[in-house]
Each structure stands twice: as C-alpha cells, then as structure tokens.
Amino acid sequence: MKKICMAVCSVLVLGLARANAADGLKVSGQTFAVTPKVGTPAGHTKTGNKIEIVHGDLKTTVILLEEGNNRLCFLTSALGVENGPLRSACVNILSQTLKIAPEAVVTSSSHNHTIPWLHVDSTKIPQANTPQMLNWELGQDFMKKLHKAAAQLAKSLEPVTVEWGVAEENRITYNRRGRRINGKTYFMREEDRMLVGEGYRGLIDPEAMVVVFKNNSDKPVAAFSFFTGHPVAAYNPEKMMSYGQFPQVASEKLSQYLGGAPVAFVQGCGGDINAKHMLTGTIEQAQLLGEQLGETFVIAAKSLRKSKRTGLEWSREAVNVPLAPLPSPASLQKDLDSIDDFIKRGDSGDENTYECVGMNFPKALTPPYRARLVQSVRPWYVWALDQHKTNNLKNVPTELPISIVVARFGDVGFVGLPYEPFVKTGLKIKHEAALPCVLTGGYTDGAYGYIPDATACDDREYQAGYFRYRGNVPPYKAPGGDACAIIAINKLSQFAR
C-alpha cells in the first residue's frame, strides 16, 4: 500500500510540475502593416527598378515568448528584416523595449520577391520629391509601428499551452533544380516546368505546419505558420509590384480562422523550391496559391496536438561550413571567355542568350537583362584567376563561419539558418530531430545567399553556384549547408531531453 501511495504521489508531483511549467510559458503577439507607394525603389532587385503596382499592404508579426527570466522574440515579415541596416534597427528597438539581449531577437523574412526596400536611418534624410524619400518615409512608418508593437508585447503576455498541427500541401511548389540528360543541373524556370509536365513536383517539403499558443480559456493568443517555397508567383524583376504573396495571404486566412490571432510566417528551406508561375504569373494566380495554402493551414489547425513537453530553451550555435579549392586557371579562363561573349550578345539583343556558366535564363527576361545577371558573376572569375596568378591560394578561406539559432517551445523545435538552404537540408533536420514538429526556417538572422546541401555542392546552376555572386569566396564543399543541420539536430536532441 505504501509503495502504491508513493507511486501515486510521484505521478501527482510530476503532473503538478508539468502544469506549473506550462503555466510558466507566456506568449504575446502583435501584427502591423505598411503600404508602399508606386514609384518606391524595389527591394528584391539590384537593378534600381521601382514598384509600378501596389496590391495591398505588407505585414509584419512579432511574437514574444517568456518563461521566468528567459525571453525569446521572433520578428517575421514580408520585408527583408533578416539582414542589413533594417535588421540592426529592428533588433535595437526590440532588445531595448523588451529589455532582452540582442541575441534573443530572431529576425526572419518570408523571402518575398515583391517588396520595397526600407531606409531606416532617421539621420540621413534624402532630398524631397525623390524615390529615395519614399523609402525613407516608409522606413520611418515601419519603425514607428514596430516600436508601438514592441511596447504592447510586454503588457499582453499570457500563460499558454503549445499545440501544433501538420497538413500536406503539394499544389503550389516544385523543385526547380532540373537535371539534363548529361547529368548537369539547371534552374528550372516556368517554361521548363511546363515542358517537363504540369504535374511535375520533384522533391519538395509539402508540410504546411501550424503552431498555436492558447491561453487558459483555450483561445489562440498567437501562432506560427510554416511552408517551404520561393514566393515568386506574379513576380518579374523588370516589372516590379508590391504584394505579400502566398505567405501573407495564407497566414491572413489562418489568422481569421483563429479569431484574429497574430500569425508569424516561417519560410522553410526553399533554396531550390519555387512557387509556380515565376515571371509569367498574374496577380490572380498568385492570390490562388495563397488561398490554397491558407486552406491547408486551416486543415492543420483543425487537428492540433498538445505538447507533452513544456518550457522554453534556445541557443546560438557556431558552424563552420567547409569551402572547396578554386577551379583550375584553364577552367576559369574558359568560363570567363564564355561570359564575355554572352554579355556582348545579350547587350546587342540576341535572343539566343539563355545559358551561360551553368545559369539558365527564361524567355520572360530581355536579353540585356540576362546579360546584366551574367555580368554580376564576372568579377568572381577575375578574382579567382588572380589568386592563381599571384600564388595567393594559401590565403583563400577554407571555411565560412556562421551562426544559427536553435530553439524549443513545448514539443516544437525551431532552427533558424542565415542563408537560403536547400530542401534536403530542411528534410534532414526534420527526419533526424528528436522532436515531433520542427520549423526549419531559412532566411533568418542573415543573408549568405544559397548554400547547397551535401549532394549539390559540385553543381553550378544558379542556386548551387551562387557563391559567385558573393564576392571573394571559393565554392562550397560537402557537407555544405548540411553542416548546420548536423549541429541543429544535436542541439534539438539536447533540448528534447
């Protein structure tokens, strides 16, 4: 009898401890929006193009998690909050207002291609009646609203439980790394996808995930939504628009289902995953993709599972991504000659300018624009050749040091990667993690461009060969971006215990 009593008491104490821990996790969320004006210089392009059409506002969501003295703040946005002056300004406001270390602020973008850039330096005011003044005014509006949202977060924290759900969405994305008969990979644009067949998907991450924080009245306080794929429907860099794309449309639909709770969208490992209709799509087609994903988010939200674990844990982890030796001088010179010929023909309007040094360009872009894209990688070849000519190979870096963020709240894991990870990296984390639900977020706290997974490091299509756009760095070497996955998996295992 005594043993039974002790066993029952142990269970009761364990249950009480879990209940107390659950009560200890508090969450609050805020969403705000800004709307650019026509003529505002575009953000996801380096060509100086301006926004010609504005389709609605662009939303940003901030979620604050707290357990005792431990706080972690997520800032997610359609805008490029993960890098540069905008990230620095956002982290400064959130860390000061919430009284947390800058490291406790996680900034993540949906990697939306149809956005403006924000001028956030209040001391450097552009001249009146210039396009840059539109960026400055938009930036000041954004920062003002972020400060207000941050102030409200600390006041509205509520004890919550953590629930999560998953549904499959395979209608809106496809793997854009095609492979030719000779084995070489290429960037599968929309016309290539249609040639392969409308039903083509390739390897994608079809999981539409929803994480909902509910208060003591079982009412949603805030939520995360998650999906993997470039939001590029109805996007053309030569004819820029402003639009929230499928992440915002779908998250708005989920928020409506959750009674208006703020929803923070996390973009998955979508480096080689595209939304359909890139460069050729209409706003109606883009809207449809968002509606379809939103429907799937709601399905996931209707089958939520309660977390068995409690509490909040997070850390910043250092990772060294290995780099490969530079190609031979003969190989580099051959590619450089090909680049110069392509640029010359593109500038002259030659339509037969579709492929160069592993890159594949669509018919929807003009030949001069294709030439400008190839021009962007030319300096890398000049630099690489110069390392051989000056016998400087011993000083070429062999590793890329980066930092990732790993977190756990309830049964839900979060991995934030500061680059464009390939889908295999995200799937590796999910399949090997010790938690049942992991948000494998790219585009977080940095912008190192594409880093391929272990199987893609030797390829040279646009994504795998993106190192050429980054300046004076060698190609990546296996395990590539999976080096981050290995560290993240180990850390999640610690958190899961």
**pLDDT above 60 for 12:** no
pLDDT-derived band at 412 (thresholds 50, 70, 90) equals: very high
**pLDDT above 80 for 9:** no
**Can you give the pLDDT at residue 13?**
32
Comparing 326 with 127, the larger pLDDT belongs to 326
| 70-77/105-109 β-pairing | parallel
pLDDT-derived band at 11 (thresholds 50, 70, 90) equals: very low
Strand partners, 305: 164
Among residues of the chain, what percentage have pLDDT more than 70?
95
**Can you give the pLDDT at residue 4?**
38
Among residues of the chain, what percentage have pLDDT more than 90?
81
Residue 362: both structure tokens together: 């669509």
**Can you give the pLDDT at residue 3?**
38
**Can you give the pLDDT at residue 46?**
59
**pLDDT above 50 for 425:** yes
**Can you give the pLDDT at residue 156?**
96
Determine the average pLDDT of the residues in 9-19.
34
- Cα-trace Rg, the chain: 23
Amino acid at 302: K
pLDDT-derived band at 82 (thresholds 50, 70, 90) equals: very high
Determine the average pLDDT of the residues in 224-247.
95
Determine the average pLDDT of the residues in 223-245.
94
pLDDT digit string, tens, across residues 91-147: 999 999 999 999 999 999 999 999 998 999 878 888 888 888 999 999 999 999 999
**Can you give the pLDDT at residue 15?**
34
Round to whole Å and give the CA distance between 469 and 274. Answer: 20
Determine the average pLDDT of the residues in 170-177.
96
**Can you give the pLDDT at residue 19?**
36
**Can you give the pLDDT at residue 279?**
87
When the pLDDT of each residue in the chain is averaged and rounded to a whole number, the result is: 92
DSSP label at residue 116: B
**pLDDT above 80 for 259:** yes
DSSP label at residue 87: H
Round to whole Å and give the CA distance between 180 and 440. Answer: 29
**pLDDT above 80 for 175:** yes
**pLDDT above 70 for 76:** yes
Determine the average pLDDT of the residues in 318-327.
97
Residue 108: both structure tokens together: 């993540």
Q: C-alpha distances in angstroms, 2 versus 5, 7, 10, 15?
A: 5, 9, 12, 20
Determine the average pLDDT of the residues in 326-338.
96
**pLDDT above 60 for 211:** yes
Residue 458's CB is within 10 A of a number of other CB atoms, namely 14
**Can you give the pLDDT at residue 372?**
92
Nearest Cα to 350, choosing from 376, 372, 371, 319?
Answer: 371
CA angle 416, 112, 121 (to 5 degrees): 85
Residue 282: both structure tokens together: 């209409």
Determine the average pLDDT of the residues in 34-41.
95
pLDDT-derived band at 47 (thresholds 50, 70, 90) equals: low
Determine the average pLDDT of the residues in 189-202.
90
